[in-house]
Each structure stands twice: as structure tokens, then as C-alpha cells.
Structure 1
Amino acid sequence: MSVTRYAYVYARIRARLSDLLGNKDIRALVDARKEDFLAILMDSPYRASMAKENLTEVDARVIERALKQELIHQYLMVIRSTDAAVRDFMIELFRRFEVMNVKAIIRVKAVGMATGTTESVLLFPVEPFFRDYRDILVEAGSLEDAIKRFGEPYRGVLEDSFQDYKKEKGNGKRLLDLENALDRDLFGAIWDKKEHLGRADRETVEKVIGTELDIANLMTMLRCKEEGIAGAEMERYFMPYSYALDLDAVQDAMSADNIPSAIQLLPDSPYKSVLSDAIHHYEEQKSLVTFELALQRYFLRWIRKVMSGYPIDIGTVLGYLYLKEVEIRNLCTIAVCKENELPAEETLKLVMM
């Protein structure tokens, strides 16, 4: 897509970039008293989204629903402001939220969680581009029943991996098989779509999405280590796409005895530095969330680097959408913390800045 053809979507995004909350704004929300949180949020660019809900006190679920709708609106704005190969690529990227919905449904069905209404689980409103699967929450009586009710490609993808799920049931690997199958299908399609972009755009996508997949593969490795999955078996869970992570060079890490040792055996890279710095927090908390947050903060810095100077290309478009997603994730996290009256110092550990 030429600079001229990017002009329209670029102008719309530049106008919205100034509305993104800065670190000072996020910190103000973190530090706010519970009774002041809504007022501060109402005085932000999210005023219109919040006003529709008529909230009088912090309700994290309602806030999350409104913010998810806002995020979807931003993706739809980009899709409707682009054309040709870029639009096709953005639609495929937007499908990430449909995949998130499918994952959310199979998780609750896998654990037998009661879902009496279509609002039992908050899903992204991905219509009209993709199907509304909320009816499956109520109508499907089991995970296998839910899988049969999904449309393609999800039904076929999940049915193919469901046999592995059934064979391994009870040893903790369960959802990894199903979720990995969904991710492979999604990112394979995204990777294929970027081949139709111009050279410069294609290279930018490989940087951004490739880095996201590097991080996903690292987290998969750590999750497998935590669940006791052997190195040889672990490889089948990796995405076959990357940017800076050489999957052939992580064999020693995959065979390590424990998670800290696996990190130390990774090849030298910014990823290794980020994970190494987080080891002491992991040893205190024994939670992979420590590493996930550390890698996501690194990705946030990477996105800002890609956007440096706001080039008139797909990098600024992708950067804006990723920054918006992080911002909304932060706001949802803060809302949950406020609702549960967590202290500011604990909340701050969970947000990305």
C-alpha cells in the first residue's frame, strides 16, 4: 500500500494517538482511591464508552465489556479505512479476537463451568465480520459438543486435536493441545496474508508479528517446562514462525531440569536478558505471569521503537492497535484491582508501562 493510499488511515490514527493514555495517566488511575477511579476514567478519552454504562461504582465486568467494545471499534475503523491486501491482512489480524472467544468457550467447557446465559463469559463483539458464538456457552453440554457447534475453520482444527486432548486427559496438558491448534491456524493464515503486502510492509509485519510469536514460543516453552512436558514433545507446540528467536538454538533450554535453568541456557538475546531479570520474582511468586509480564513490557517497548517517527506505513497502524490493546488491558486490570481493593503497589506490578 503506497504512502498516498495510507494517507486516510494514517490521518485517522494520528488523531487518535494523542488520546492514548501516558504513563502518568495510568499511574494516576492506579493510585486513585476506589471511589475516585470512575471519575478519573470519565475524564479520559473513554468518557463516551463509560457514560453509556451509567455506572455509579466500580464494576470491573461492566468496564471490561465497554472497553472490549471500544477496542473492536478501533480495529473496525482501521479495516474500513484500508483496502486491497492491507485490508485483507487487517481482517485476518482482527480474527485474533474470534480465536480468543473460541478459547474462552473451550476453557469453560473443559472445566465444566456452568454458563447459564450468553453473558456468562465476556466475549469480544466480533460481528459482523465473524460469528457470534455466545449461544454455544448456553447450548453446548460438553467440550466435545461445543467443538461440533463451531463453524470452520475452528470445528475442523479442534476436532483434529481433540483426540490428543482425550488421550492425555488428566495429566495437565489438556488445553495446550487445543489452544495451540487454534494459534497455528490463525498465525499461519496471518503469515500467508502478509505475503501479499508490499516489500516494506511485509518486512515490518515480520518484525512485529514475528516478535509476538517469538514471545509466544518462549512462553510455550516455559509452560511446557512447568507442566513437565519433555523437550522432544515440546517442539510440536511451537509456532513455526519467528523473527529473532532461533528455535534450533533452544534445544538445551528445552532439556533443562527447571525453568530458571532453561532461561540460562537460552541463546543470548534481548529475550534472555528480560527473562533472566525476572527470575528472582518468579522464584518468589512461582508464577509464569512474572515472565509473561516481563516479555509483554519488552514487546511494548519494541512496538514504540517500530513506531518511532510515526512512519506512514503499516508499522504505525499495527503499533497503534497494539498500544490500544495494551492500554485497555491495563484499564481492565486496574478496574479488577480497584473492585477488589488491592493496594496501588500490588496493582502496579500487573500493569504494563
Structure 2
Amino acid sequence: MADEIAALFASAGITNEIFLVFVVIAIVVVGAIVVIITSRPILDIYPYLNPSARVRARKGRLFDEKQISEIVETNDIHEFENYLKGIPDYADVLENYPVDKALDIQCADTYDFAARIVPKEIKSCFVVLSKKTDIDNIKSLLTAKEAGLTNEETEELLIPRGSSYEILESLVDADDVAGIVTGLDSTEFGAVLEDALPKYEETGMILALESALDKYYLESLLRSSDVPADENRQILFSYVGTQVDIANLKLIIRAKEDNLSYDDIAPYMLEDGYQLREWKLKDLMEAQDVSNVISGLEGTKYAEALTEAMTRYNETGAVSVFENALDTFLVETIKSLSTKKPLGIGPIIGYVSQKETEIKNLKIIARAKREAGFPNSKIMEMLI
């Protein structure tokens, strides 16, 4: 066989030396292909190794169920604060700020931490997440100005974090809401607020400005994750998309409770959702009431959670039961997503979600502890 191959090459004018060169090249090419195929999984994992390790270290410091129960059992807000001061993650910030602001700072620092450590391929999404701090600060500034609070009272509401904090701090003494909007002209939020300003001036309600900010944030979040090219980014897209759907659902349910029409709601909706596409959102916005919104979700992954909440809504008449159900659904969804890529994005989104939930629960407990005699059993029911 070897003689026949050699004769074939010789008849084609190919010498033994050239033949050997072809053989070597073939071996190199095949070897390169094998190396690429075998190393691809390692290359996919490598960018996440350091971020995952740092996140796992922080996850170990999150409160467990026993600690949450101990916090719920504290007698009042002072005992609650003293408990947190014994926890290193909260101790330093509580030395300088009241508890509510300290919790907001912890949340802002969590977003900033994630945005700094994640791999480049998913960084833009976490940078957008960190903008929640700026948006919360803008909302606080607008609300304070509308309510006529003093400069000192207004500044106290601001979270000393975020990329626009210095600009917002300088606007504490603005004359009115329009002055704040003008002062934010140089920021990425300027155009959004300017477009919504006429609606505010027409209605006298800052809801138009707040809703415009929320819509801008969700649009930015979707754009930052809309190319699910690999499994990590597919998980990221599900993580972001579910949040967008839930924000839309909360808005629709609130609007229907207030008897608002499709035309009232539509300007504030993010039409391109995740599972809830434009046609479905249109149907929900045109629903007659809250009950019809919930029944209209049949066939979606949100149906079961909200159908169960419908019974409590009928008993209490409070739409907050739907919001709580959606918050719980989001936590469970992210928990499931976080297990799908344990050597990738999973631990990162898991940690961010768990930290958000921890802070939300601490805020719930703090509010309850300010009310004398508030039942601990009721607090436990309110936790996410």
C-alpha cells in the first residue's frame, strides 16, 4: 500500500521530501483542530474563574434563615440596628448613615462590585444594573423638590453612590422640578427627562418623569443582553428578560387597579418584552380589570404565581399581593438560572439576586420594627 502511494506521488512529480512536508502539515493542522476543540470549554470557563471565586466568598456572608429569624425577633429598631452593626458587611456603613440609607448603599455597592469583576462579554449588562442607583437618586430628588422639602432634607434622601451623584448633589438647591431636568442635560438621563417634562407640566404629576426613567432603564437592560450568542449570555438574557416582563406586569396591574385605559398605560410600557411579546402586552393593557389581566396570562410562566395570588387579592383588595408574588417568582427563577452554569455566569447572578433579596427583607423588617407591637409572624409572611 505504501509503495502504491509513493508511486502515485512520484507519477505526479512529488518527491519524497515534499510528501513528508505535506504529512507534517497535515499532522499540525489535525493537532491544532484537536487542541482548539479540547481547549474551548476551558477558554469559556477561564474568564469566570476569578469573578466566581470572589462572588462565592461573598455569598458565604449572606444571612441564612436562622440569622433572618434572629433579626425578626429583635424587639425594636434600635436592637435591629445593633444586630446589623455586629455584621462586618454592614458595620462600617451603619457608623456613618441611618439604617435605610446604609441598606441602599449596600445595594449600590453590590451592583458596582458586580460591574467591576464580571468578564468583558457581559459587563455592559451589569453596568446598566448599577445605574439603578442614579435613577433612584433622580427620583428622590424630583420627589423632594415636588414636595417642597428643604435642601438638607433633600440631600439626606440621596444615596452617596452612582456615577451621577456629584451632579445630583449640586442640584439639591434647584428651584423646581424643571430646574433639575435642565441640570441633568449633560447626563444620559437628560433627553429622557426632557421628553417627559411636558407631560409632567400638563398633569403636575412626577409619575411621568419616573416612568420615563424606568422605561429607559429597562430598554437599556434589554439592549445590553440581546445577543445570546452562548450559554452564559442566554442565561443573562433570561435573567434580564424576566425582570422586564415582571416590571411590565406590575405596571399593568397597578394601572388596571386605578382604572387606567390602554392610552394611559401604553407610553410607559416596554413593548419588546421577553416571554410577553408586544401582542400579548397589548391584550393585557386592553383588559377590563385586574382579574382579566390575570386570566389573560394563561399559558405563560407567570400564570400560576399570579393565579394563586388572586385568592388573596379577592380577600384583601390589595394589588401588593401580586407584586409580592412576582417578586418571589423572580427570586425563584433567578435561583434556577444560577444553577445552570456553575462555572460561568450562574454564581454571579445568583449572588446579586440574593443580596437584593436580603436588603429588601431587611428594609421590610426595619419598617416593621418602627411600629410598636408589630407581630413577628406577620413580618415573616411579608418577607420574600
Larger RCO, structure (CA 8 Å, separation 6 or more): 1
- SS in structure 2 opposite 1:117? helix
Between stretches 255-264 and 15-24, larger displacement belongs to: 255-264
Q: Report the alpha carbon displacement of residue 137 of structure 1 after superposing the two structures with TM.
A: 5.9
Q: Quote the Cα distance in structure 2 between the aligned partners of 1:135 and 1:325.
A: 25
Residues 1-353 of structure 1 correspond to what in structure 2 (within 5 A)?
2-34=44-76, 36-43=79-86, 46-50=87-91, 53-54=94-95, 62-110=98-146, 112-117=147-152, 120-127=155-162, 129-135=163-169, 138-150=172-184, 151-169=186-204, 174-195=205-226, 198-308=229-339, 311-341=342-372, 342-352=374-384
Bigger radius of gyration: 2
TM-score (norm 1): 0.85
Q: Does structure 2 retain, via aligned residues, the 8 Å contact 1:6–1:312?
A: yes
Q: Does structure 2 retain, via aligned residues, the 8 Å contact 1:250–1:266?
A: no
Q: Does structure 1 retain, via aligned residues, the 8 Å contact 2:111–2:129?
A: no
Distance 1:252 1:175, change over 3 A: same
Structure 2 counterpart of 1:47, which letter? P
Instruction: Name the residue aligned to 2:34.
Output: none
Q: Percent identity?
A: 24
Question: What are structure 1's unaligned runs of at least 5 residues?
Answer: 56-60
Q: Quote the Cα distance in structure 1 between the aligned partners of 2:105 and 2:70.
A: 23
Distance 1:321 1:109, change over 3 A: same
Q: Report the alpha carbon displacement of residue 308 of structure 1 after superposing the two structures with TM.
A: 1.9
Distance 1:7 1:53, change over 3 A: same
Q: Quote the Cα distance in structure 2 between the aligned partners of 1:153 and 1:286.
A: 39
Q: Quote the Cα distance in structure 1 between the aligned partners of 2:112 and 2:286.
A: 43
Q: Deviations over 1:7-42 (max 9, x none)?
A: 111100011112222233223322332264344434
Q: Quote the Cα distance in structure 2 between the aligned partners of 1:9 and 1:346.
A: 38
Q: Quote the Cα distance in structure 2 between the aligned partners of 1:289 and 1:140.
A: 34
CA RMSD of aligned residues (A): 2.7
Question: What are structure 2's unaligned runs of at least 5 residues?
Answer: 1-42
Distance 1:270 1:79, change over 3 A: closer
Structure 1 counterpart of 2:46, which letter? T
Distance 1:285 1:140, change over 3 A: farther
Q: Quote the Cα distance in structure 2 between the aligned partners of 1:214 and 1:308.
A: 21
Q: Does structure 1 retain, via aligned residues, the 8 Å contact 2:155–2:169?
A: no
Q: Does structure 1 retain, via aligned residues, the 8 Å contact 2:45–2:343?
A: yes
Q: Does structure 2 retain, via aligned residues, the 8 Å contact 1:85–1:196?
A: no
Between stretches 228-237 and 195-204, larger displacement belongs to: 195-204
Instruction: Name the residue aligned to 1:58.
Output: none
Q: Report the alpha carbon displacement of residue 180 of structure 1 after superposing the two structures with TM.
A: 2.5
Q: Quote the Cα distance in structure 1 between the aligned partners of 2:67 and 2:340.
A: 22
Q: Quote the Cα distance in structure 1 between the aligned partners of 2:305 and 2:287.
A: 19
Q: Report the alpha carbon displacement of residue 67 of structure 1 after superposing the two structures with TM.
A: 2.2
- Pick the structure with more helix per residue: 2
Q: Quote the Cα distance in structure 2 between the aligned partners of 1:227 and 1:108.
A: 24
Between stretches 292-301 and 266-275, larger displacement belongs to: 266-275
Q: Does structure 2 retain, via aligned residues, the 8 Å contact 1:72–1:125?
A: no
Q: Quote the Cα distance in structure 1 between the aligned partners of 2:262 and 2:339.
A: 39
Q: Report the alpha carbon displacement of residue 300 of structure 1 after superposing the two structures with TM.
A: 0.7
Q: Quote the Cα distance in structure 1 between the aligned partners of 2:265 and 2:115.
A: 36
